[in-house]
Amino acid sequence: MERTRATPKPAQGGPAGPRVTRDAVLDTAMRLVMETGTEGLSMRKLAAELGVAVTSIYWHVGNREALIDELVERVLQDMGTIRVTGRTPVTRIVSIAQANRRMILDRPHLISLVRERGLESLMMLPARRALVREFAAAGVHGARAALAVQAVQFQVAGFVMLERALTGHPQEPAQVQAWLAEVAEGDPELADNLHTPGAPDALFDVAVRSMVESLLRED
Amino acid sequence: MERTRATPKPAQGGPAGPRVTRDAVLDTAMRLVMETGTEGLSMRKLAAELGVAVTSIYWHVGNREALIDELVERVLQDMGTIRVTGRTPVTRIVSIAQANRRMILDRPHLISLVRERGLESLMMLPARRALVREFAAAGVHGARAALAVQAVQFQVAGFVMLERALTGHPQEPAQVQAWLAEVAEGDPELADNLHTPGAPDALFDVAVRSMVESLLRED
DNA sequence: ACCTGAACACCGTTCAAGT
DNA sequence: ACCTGAACACCGTTCAAGT
């Protein structure tokens, strides 16, 4: 919305241009976020990376919050649109959910940014549009459509935010290991598949498909 | 596991006891987390609150990470057990999911702690145990049971982590407001119910129930 | 218009020293 | 056993001052 300063075209033969531009600041900031997440982005590191005093960053972008806002907007531009495939309502809607999940998983920095600012709803917008359209085509309208769309999107967003957290943790407190082992005693096949993250793709597919089928069933 | 120091009983008439005990540190830390979340818990504020030098905290609990670990363990103790109600497999399993969600929502500090340390799996353990039992009683075992349990728990955890993020944000960037308005044009009833968080309880119920029904259906 | 250093108020953590 | 102050290496942010 309100950029702090406009970035002028770099003048060629005129007076020496600025040492950094607003765009350069944002580019470097985005690179830092992609490399180390939001918690690895500090105003001072950013300034050092650009070879400039910290205070210069403030002149270009305002403050850290405004900087993150700008990064969020950039990533949103990059989200693209949802491709819907399939011919039955169920497969088409499931394909939207899958594309939504893929889009987010392919952009880990998006999760980091969105978490920091509590903007989870933003990353669901393109898919939301597509879901509204598909449910309408399947004859679901009004309050029932709202419920269906939200149910699918909660599923997608929750799945994405969790599968990274629930799968990637090698060292858990010892007590937890013991509890986990105890949960499935007597069914070793269950135990194996319960602890290994397994195939999140298959899990996601089953979960979403079963829910969509129920949502589309007349009651 | 390995507590940094043991907390002795406060001696009555003997030599003057310690100015703070390990338990007092943990109590105050927990209070700070409940009031302001993990990001409001700093070693220095904690020391000030206890009327003691910062370095004293370090002697009692090691460092901030160990302190948080200890708080997590405390909250886990407090999680209690899952009450299963209902007579059909579907209602019993849905009741577990609902109790799981309630337990977490009733403990906002649990979410804060678990997020900071990436221990999402911990808060799912009691319900996991109950789910394994109920799916087994319904004749679901082995890999299929693992899939079913994980599907339900991803649903629960995702729902909980999201419903706070997706519902509570009054001021979103202006561009988002515009997008939201555009998504549901032509169906005002849909628009209303899509933007208002509405009834997350009902939404959760529909989502979980429909998924459990599918998971229990023979294929 | 653009950049600087100094300064303020915060962090977590270590260490040597006190009793 | 328990606590202290000093110190280090970090933060975000403001401000007056330079060109």
Domain boundary among A50, A77, A104: A77
pLDDT tens, residue by residue, A170-188: 455 555 566 666 776 778 8
Interval B17-62: pLDDT, tens: 788 999 999 999 999 999 999 999 999 999 999 999 999 999 999 9
Q: Are residues A158 and A121 both part of a single domain?
A: yes
B21 in a domain, yes or no?
yes
Say which range, A93-107, A110-124, A185-199, has the weakest mean pLDDT. A185-199
**Total count of domains within chain A:** 2
Note whether residue B3 is domain-resident: no
Q: From its phi and psi, is residue A217 left (phi > 0), alpha (psi between -120 and 50) or beta?
A: beta
One domain for residues A148 and A124: yes
Residue A3 is predicted with a pLDDT of: 45
With cut-offs at 50, 70 and 90, classify the pLDDT of residue A90.
Answer: very high
In a domain, A1, yes or no: no
Taking CA atoms, B172 is separated from A5, A117, A122, in Å, by 22, 10, 9
pLDDT of A193: 77
pLDDT of residue B31: 97
Q: Across residues A8-32, what is the average pLDDT?
A: 81
Question: B175 at the A interface (CB within 8 A)?
Answer: yes
Nearest chain B CA: its distance from A11 CA (Å): 32
In terms of residues, how long is chain B? 219
Q: How many CB pairs lie under 8 A apart between chains A and B? A: 193
Residue B211 lies in a domain: yes
Same-domain status, A57 and A154: no
Fill in the DSSP letter of residue B123.
G
Cβ–Cβ under 8 Å, residues B115 and B38: yes
CA dihedral sign, ordered A194, A200, A204, A206: negative
A99 and A179, same structural domain?
yes
Report CA(B145)–C1'(C17) in Å, whole number. Answer: 61
pLDDT at residue B6, as a whole number: 57
- CA R_g for chain B: 23
Closest listed residue to residue B110, CA positions, set B122, B98, B99: B122
Residue B29 lies in a domain: yes
Q: Got the DSSP string for A98-128?
A: HHHHHHHHT-HHHHHHHHHHT-TTGGGHHHH
The amino acid present at A117, given as its one-letter code, is: R
**Average pLDDT, stretch A99-117?**
90
- If one compares A197 and B113, the residue with the highest pLDDT of the two is B113
Residue nearest to nucleotide C10 (CA to C1'): B44
pLDDT value at A10 more than 90:
no
A116-155 pLDDT per residue, tens: 887 888 888 889 989 999 999 999 999 889 989 988 998 8
Sort B54 into a burial class: Cβ within 10 Å, 0-12 / 13-18 / 19+: middle
Q: Does B162 touch chain A (CB under 8 A)?
A: yes
Query: Is residue A14 located within the same domain as residue A46?
Result: yes
Residue B2 has a pLDDT of: 43
What confidence score (pLDDT) does residue B214 get?
Answer: 84
Q: Are B158 and A200 in contact (CB under 8 A)?
A: no
A58: CATH: 1.10.10.60
A166·B211 Cβ contact <8 A: no
User: pTM here?
Assistant: 0.86
Nearest protein residue by Cα to C1' of nucleotide C2: A18
- The whole-angstrom separation of Cα B6 and Cα B61 is 10
Render pLDDT for B166-217 as a digit per residue (tens, 0 to 9): 665 545 555 556 666 677 677 888 877 777 656 778 889 988 998 898 889 8
Please list every residue in chain A whose beta carbon sits closer than 8 Å to the beta carbon of residue B171. none
Cβ of A101 < 7 Å from strand C?
A: no
B171 CB and strand D closer than 7 A: no
Euclidean distance between the first and the last CA atom of chain A, given in angstroms as a whole number: 45
> Do B37 and B105 sit in the same domain of this protein?
no
Measure the CA–CA gap between A165 and A158, rounded to whole angstroms.
11
Mean pLDDT of chain B: 84
Which residue's CA shows the smallest distance to C1' of D5?
Answer: B53
Residues B67 and B38 both lie in one domain:
yes
Asked if pLDDT for residue A45 goes beyond 70, the answer is yes
pLDDT at B138: 96
Q: Are residues A22 and A109 in the same domain?
A: no
Asked if strand C contacts B16 at the CB level, meaning under 7 A, the answer is no
Helices A188-195 and A174-183, packing angle to 10 deg: 140
Q: DSSP code of A174?
A: H
What does the alpha-carbon distance between residue B40 and residue B33 come to, in Å, rounded to a whole number? 7
For residues A106 and A139, membership in a common domain is answered with: yes
Residue A67 has pLDDT above 60, yes or no: yes
B9 interfaces chain A, CB cutoff of 8 Å: no
Are A189 and B143 in contact, with CB atoms under 8 Å apart?
Answer: yes
Q: DSSP letters along A14-75, please?
A: SS---SS-HHHHHHHHHHHHHHH-GGG--HHHHHHHHTS-HHHHHHHH-SHHHHHHHHHHHH
Count the residues in chain A.
219
Out of A77, A103, A135, a domain closes at A77
Task: Give the best residue of B104, B152, B162 to mutate against chain A (max A CB count within 10 A).
Answer: B162
Interatomic separation, CA of residue A3 and C1' of nucleotide D18, rounded (Å): 25
Query: Which domain covers residue A31, as residue numbers?
Result: 9-77
Q: Let me know if residue A3 belongs to a domain.
A: no
Q: Verify that B106 and B30 share a domain, yes or no.
A: no
Which runs of E-coded beta strand occur in B58-145? none
Domain contains A2: no
Bases of chain C with protein Cβ within 7 A? 1-7, 10-16
